[in-house]
């Protein structure tokens, strides 16, 4: 069974979001998502400075078998991206919630976080497939 | 629920992620497709290919029938029981109905065709058989296990024991032998040495378990696809179809025009195509930059006007970059561009064979 961390918020498109102490929000994809994708071989991330609208396409994650778009679960400006994924995309599989993070946003409307799924609600969605 | 091979329970026990493949519940991988791929390139892996369709052809006209039905000529097998031949089965327009391997048996022939094309293949074969004294017998009670990799034959011999080891040692590539209901062929779909073993379905699970204990890694369809693509082998429905001629699918070597008197189905169409000039070819593409080539992406060739199409694309675990096969205009040179999500990326155009026997060729 895949891990769903209780302290995170989730989008039904399988991204997770974590509010950091400095008010930025880190985004990645869930353990359930990496498991469904299989071996990740390439991650295309947004550029630092990009303004993303809620639900906008933020990048692509490619596994051996398929390409999947990743979406911005909340709106905001990209303040950092995980450059380590360029050389080691498999980190998304081995450590999706920590070292396998994708990018960090400065949220334009922090209340959007409250409208994301909590762990229990996401578990329900993930189990339905 | 789809069709299940006799190995279905053991796939589930071994942690196979089961997916639908042409109506069959088959393992995609058992954890990591990449690990399985490397295991085949460096050691030995095994695949359940029991979903493929085995058809035995008997009767006085078996040879004449197959010389009409198939684009390659089974006369090449005459006097060499156990020898195998790769061929297309074409329609009158010269399109590929399926690709298959035909084996000469002591009496008659055995054909192994794809699973997704089973029904149309059988319908076509029965229709063409009406004019010949032949009988077609499908053999659904047989299982098939492909054991592939540099250590595959050694490990298979170890499991099968001395009695079989000698016969296996005598096999050249594309040769087979039969013993009772078992058929052992030195064939495969990975670009590595290995065997494809056909055996009674009731014995498959015990054999699979014994191979696993001997260190042969269970591998799923995911690794099978990356391995065959690195080896530059066509997949029906991707590189070939009823609308695509074998002459543009890198299969000209499987079409035997001599002797002129052999009127195989599709011959006239292919002769006309040759006379007017074949206008496309199948090539390999290598993307050295970041990204992954995928089937359906457009290939932009040098003049910028004519286009080709990626027929299969993936990340190559052996090369560490993306590779593809693509159907492009014959004039395509050594470089081209591929459109990935509205961006054009440069690719190298190579012969469609990227890896053989563990070594990179590009």
At B25-75, the pLDDT tens digits run 999 999 999 999 999 999 999 999 999 999 999 999 999 999 999 999 999
Which B residues, 51 through 80, put their C-beta within 8 Å of a C-beta on chain A?
none
Confidence of residue B290 (pLDDT cuts 50, 70, 90): confident
- Cβ–Cβ below 8 Å for B294 and A65: no
Residues B207-253 pLDDT 10s: 999 999 999 999 999 999 999 999 999 999 999 999 999 999 999 99
- Structure tokens given for B77: 């097998």
pLDDT of residue A129: 56
3-state secondary structure of A123: helix
- Structure tokens given for B326: 């693509």
Confidence of residue A1 (pLDDT cuts 50, 70, 90): low
Nearest CA in chain B to A88: B320
Nearest CA in chain B to A64: B315
- Structure tokens given for B152: 């595959």
Give the predicted TM-score (pTM) of the model. 0.93
pLDDT of residue B288: 87
How far apart (Å, rounded) are the C-alpha atoms in residues B362 and B346? Answer: 16
Q: Does B342 or B164 have the greater pLDDT score? A: B164
Kindly state whether B291 is in contact with chain A, defined as any CB-CB distance less than 8 angstroms.
yes
Out of B28, B292, B294, the one facing A41 most closely (by C-beta) is: B292
pLDDT of residue A86: 92
A111, B88, B198, B362 from B188: Cα distances, Å: 57, 17, 12, 21
Kindly state whether B343 is in contact with chain A, defined as any CB-CB distance less than 8 angstroms.
no
Is pLDDT above 80 for B304? Answer: no
Residues of B in contact with A62 (CB under 8 A): 291-292, 315
Is pLDDT above 80 for A125? Answer: yes
Q: What is the mean pLDDT of residues B342-354?
A: 95
Residues of A in contact with B292 (CB under 8 A): 41-42, 62, 67
How far apart (Å, rounded) are the C-alpha atoms in residues B337 and B351? Answer: 16
Residues B132-173 pLDDT 10s: 999 999 999 999 999 999 999 999 999 999 989 999 999 999
pLDDT of residue B237: 96
């Amino acid at each position: 069974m895949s891990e769903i961390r209780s302290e995170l918020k989730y989008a039904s498109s399988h991204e997770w979001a974590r509010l950091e102490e400095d008010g930025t929000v880190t985004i990645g994809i869930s353990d359930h998502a990496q498991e469904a994708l299989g071996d990740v071989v390439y991650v295309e991330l947004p550029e630092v400075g990009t303004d993303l609208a809620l639900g906008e396409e933020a990048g692509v994650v490619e596994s051996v078998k398929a390409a999947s778009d990743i979406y911005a679960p909340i709106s905001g400006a990209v303040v950092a991206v995980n450059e380590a994924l360029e050389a080691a995309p498999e980190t998304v599989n081995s450590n999706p919630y920590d070292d396998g993070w994708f990018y960090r946003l400065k949220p334009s409307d922090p209340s959007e976080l409250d409208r994301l799924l909590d762990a229990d609600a996401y578990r329900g969605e993930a189990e339905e497939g | 629920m789809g069709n299940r091979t006799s190995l279905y329970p053991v796939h589930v026990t071994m942690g196979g992620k089961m997916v639908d493949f042409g109506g069959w519940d088959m393992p995609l991988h058992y954890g990591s497709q990449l690990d399985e791929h490397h295991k085949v390139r460096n050691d030995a892996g095994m695949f359940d290919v029991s979903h493929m369709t085995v058809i035995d052809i008997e009767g006085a006209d078996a040879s004449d029938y197959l010389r009409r039905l198939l684009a390659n000529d089974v006369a090449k097998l005459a006097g060499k029981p156990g020898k195998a031949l790769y061929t297309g089965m074409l329609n009158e327009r010269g399109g590929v109905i399926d690709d298959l391997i035909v084996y000469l048996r002591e009496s008659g022939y055995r054909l192994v065709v794809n699973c997704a094309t089973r029904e149309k293949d059988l319908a076509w074969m029965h229709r063409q058989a009406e004019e010949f004294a032949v009988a077609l017998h499908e053999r659904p009670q047989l299982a098939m296990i492909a054991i592939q990799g540099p250590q595959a034959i050694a490990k298979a011999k170890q499991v099968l024991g001395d009695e079989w080891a000698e016969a296996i040692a005598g096999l050249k590539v594309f040769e087979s032998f039969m013993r009772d209901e078992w058929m052992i062929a030195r064939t495969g779909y990975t670009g590595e040495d290995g065997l494809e073993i056909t055996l009674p379905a009731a014995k498959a699970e015990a054999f699979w378990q014994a191979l696993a204990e001997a260190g042969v890694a269970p591998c799923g369809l995911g690794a099978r696809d990356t391995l065959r693509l690195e080896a530059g082998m066509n997949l029906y429905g991707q590189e070939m179809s009823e609308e695509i001629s074998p002459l543009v699918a890198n299969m000209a070597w499987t079409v035997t025009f001599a002797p002129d008197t052999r009127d195989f189905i599709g011959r006239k169409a292919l002769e006309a195509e040759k006379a007017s000039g074949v206008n496309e070819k199948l090539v390999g593409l290598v993307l050295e930059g970041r990204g992954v080539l995928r089937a359906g992406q457009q290939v932009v060739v040098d003049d910028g006007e004519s286009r080709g199409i990626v027929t299969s694309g993936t990340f190559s675990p052996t090369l560490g970059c993306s590779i593809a096969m693509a159907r492009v205009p014959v004039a395509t040179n050594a470089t081209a561009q591929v459109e990935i999500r509205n961006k054009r990326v440069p690719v190298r155009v190579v012969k469609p064979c990227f890896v053989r026997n563990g070594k990179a060729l590009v």
